[in-house]
Structure 1
Amino acid sequence: MARQTVKLLLLDEHDHLLLIHSRDPSTGNDCWYPVGGGIEPGESLQDAAAREAYEETGLRDLPTGIHVWWRDHTYEYDNQRYDVHEDWLLHHIPHFTPAPAQLTPYETRTIQSFHWWTPQSLTTTQSTIYPPNLGPLLTTLLSNTTPKSPFNITSHS
């Protein structure tokens, strides 16, 4: 069964997206991905998003997000295989400097840094971004009205 997760599109006032820079301990490969993680039993999407934002970035008082995307995904990291169902929330927040508050020992070992990316830089970078099509997906999201119901991005990533 797929692990239920939440992914956060944390956009500042200039539509820059906060991503985490991580290094896979088993391969040494670098990648960038959005803030987020597993949804605990009994937690709502919003509750999980607020907890993950605080734990991974130190951000308190996360505004309510808009459920914009979902994705079913399987990936390998640190010689482990993960099957996940991701629900993606869009949050507009003031720009801040991330300072993790409660990383797990695993996250402490793998998280290298944070960076605010423009949609254009996500589209043109040679860095590994997850999901790989995040730049074009974000550009489309920002140029259209917010979807009435979450859009399946599984085939786009």
Structure 2
Amino acid sequence: MEMVHRPAVRVICFDADGRVLLMNWRDPIDGHQLWEPPGGGIDPGETPLEAARRELTEETGLDPEAVSATFVMVDRDTIWKGRRMTGPEQFFAARYPIAGPDLAREGLLPYEKAELLGHAWVHPSDFSSLPDPLEPPSLGDILRSNSLFGTA
């Protein structure tokens, strides 16, 4: 299996009830499903913060100005589309003042629309009850151990 490092970012979105936005994806190569925070690759010439705000807008339609400029580095190791993706990613935080803000899918690329099964606002204490694996699996620990995210 090809191992690659793709510079990428994630945004941990919190709603007013302390829940985290997770996206549910299906891998088009092998069909496995996973849950992960919104995010994606950093385009050439783009800063990580710009990428985080762009990806958030594309995948959710949420206000990108809510994304804080500070971040936590998280080592990733996951399989997606037949490649093993490894390396650090910057995780940013965004907070929204209402419970479960509505999302929009209009910014998704056609292949993303096909791969995105849905989303959910999930309290960190409920991560273990997700029907598919969480990526990264240590997300709950990451949220608890980093002051940027507050106590989850």
Q: Same fold (TM over 0.5)?
A: yes
Which residue of the partner structure matches residue 56 of structure 1?
A: 59
Which has the larger displacement, 22-31 or 57-66? 57-66
Question: Mapping of 1:69-84 within 5 angstroms?
Answer: 69-84=72-87
Which residue of the partner structure matches residue 127 of structure 1?
A: 132
TM score, norm. by length of structure 1: 0.79
Counterpart among 38, 44, 49 of residue 46 in structure 1: 49
Counterpart among 105, 108, 116 of residue 121 in structure 2: 116
Contact persistence 1:54–1:100 (CA under 8 A): no
Question: Mapping of 1:78-93 within 5 angstroms?
Answer: 78-93=81-96
Q: Pick closer, same or farther for the CA change 1:113–1:38 going to 2, 3 Å.
A: same
Identity of aligned residues (%): 30
Q: Tell me by how many angstroms 1:124 deviates.
A: 4.6
Counterpart among 88, 102, 118 of residue 97 in structure 1: 102
Which residue of the partner structure matches residue 33 of structure 1?
A: 36
1:10 is paired with a residue whose SS is strand
Contact persistence 2:22–2:120 (CA under 8 A): yes
2:65 is paired with a residue whose SS is coil
Q: Pick closer, same or farther for the CA change 1:66–1:120 going to 2, 3 Å.
A: farther
Contact persistence 2:105–2:113 (CA under 8 A): no
Q: Pick closer, same or farther for the CA change 1:68–1:124 going to 2, 3 Å.
A: farther
1:31 is paired with a residue whose SS is strand
Contact persistence 1:123–1:134 (CA under 8 A): no
1:3 is paired with a residue whose SS is coil
Q: Tell me by how many angstroms 1:90 deviates.
A: 1.0
1:138 is paired with a residue whose SS is helix
Q: Pick closer, same or farther for the CA change 1:26–1:140 going to 2, 3 Å.
A: same
The residue type equivalent to 1:146 in the other structure is L
Output the CA distance in 1 between the equivalents of 2:81 and 2:67: 32
Contact persistence 1:119–1:136 (CA under 8 A): no
Structure 1: unaligned runs, 5 residues or longer? 148-157
Two-structure CA RMSD over aligned residues (Å): 2.2
2:119 is paired with a residue whose SS is strand
Query: How many correspondences in the alignment?
Result: 144
TM score, norm. by length of structure 2: 0.81
